[in-house]
Amino acid sequence: MNSHTVRLLTKHDFIELGDIHARCFGDFAWSSSTFEDYFILPEWAGVIGFCVEKPKKVCDLTNTLELQRRLSGFIIGRTTYDINDVFTIAVDPCDHGKGVGTALLDAYLNAISTDCMLEVAKGNVTAIHLYEKFGFEVITTRREYYDNPDPQMRDAYVMRKKTNVFEVAAQGSL
Ligand SMILES: CC(C)(COP(=O)(O)OP(=O)(O)OC[C@H]1O[C@@H](n2cnc3c(N)ncnc32)[C@H](O)[C@@H]1OP(=O)(O)O)[C@@H](O)C(=O)NCCC(=O)NCCS
């Protein structure tokens, strides 16, 4: 697996989050302002997220090469009481298959100390494979959960990863 620079999301990332979501989900994407709300509205207190950043070479107007940073992908969610919900994970399509999703989910799961739940379309084999790799299991199916014309992408699996209390204790969180 490639090594990736993972960092916490901040409210300043919201535009890029909307852009990546749009490239991944098209008409079903969440807007940048939805992501901004997660960081600024009090009702979303406790939202946490990570992103993978990578350097990008760009030329300015004088043809001077400079190194900027852009996001390859992100994950965002929240713990409420004793359960964590992943809201979404999205990797820029041009960076799929390079280990970005794996690095994001790894960082996220290391940062929480509760069971973790998420929904995923039944036909999203890549995402389901990623979640199973980290120990998520299907606990139920929600029929017609997504408003998607593709019948494979309408039903959702609800998946849960149970907390490994021994790992959490070893990290000093208990
Ligand atoms: C799902 C997603 C986040 C995975 O991100 P990624 O950076 O491509 O994932 P990785 O490169 O870390 O690969 C994760 C695993 O999926 C596997 N994989 C990649 N493409 C696959 C495919 N088409 N079919 C099955 N498995 C696939 C990889 O081999 C890897 O497994 P391995 O470690 O056992 O080899 C990314 O595909 C994505 O953003 N998809 C669009 C948005 C989305 O569907 N989000 C999830 C909504 S619930």
Per-residue pLDDT, averaged over 5-20, amounts to 96
| SS3 state of residue 87 | strand
130 lines ligand 1 (CB under 6 A): yes
State the distance from the centre of ligand 1 to the C-alpha of 138, rounded, in angstroms.
Answer: 17
Model confidence band, residue 55 (pLDDT cutoffs 50, 70, 90): confident
pLDDT digits (tens, 9 = 90+) for 91-144: 999 999 999 999 999 999 999 999 999 999 999 999 999 999 999 999 999 999
Cα dihedral across residues 76, 129, 157, 26: positive or negative: positive
Distance (Å, whole) CA 150 – CA 148: 5
For the Cβ of 129 lying below 6 angstroms from any atom of ligand 1, the answer is yes
Which domains does the chain show, CATH number per domain? 1-112 (3.40.630.30), 116-174 (3.40.630.30)
125 pocket-lining for ligand 1 (C-beta < 6 Å): yes
Query: What mean pLDDT value characterizes the chain?
Result: 91
- DSSP collapsed to 3 states, 107-151: HHHHHCCCEEEEEEECCCHHHHHHHHHCCCEEEEEECCCCCCCCH
Query: Coil, helix or strand for 97?
Result: coil
> What value does the mean pLDDT take over residues 33-39?
97
Question: From the CB of 120, is ligand 1 less than 6 Å away?
Answer: yes
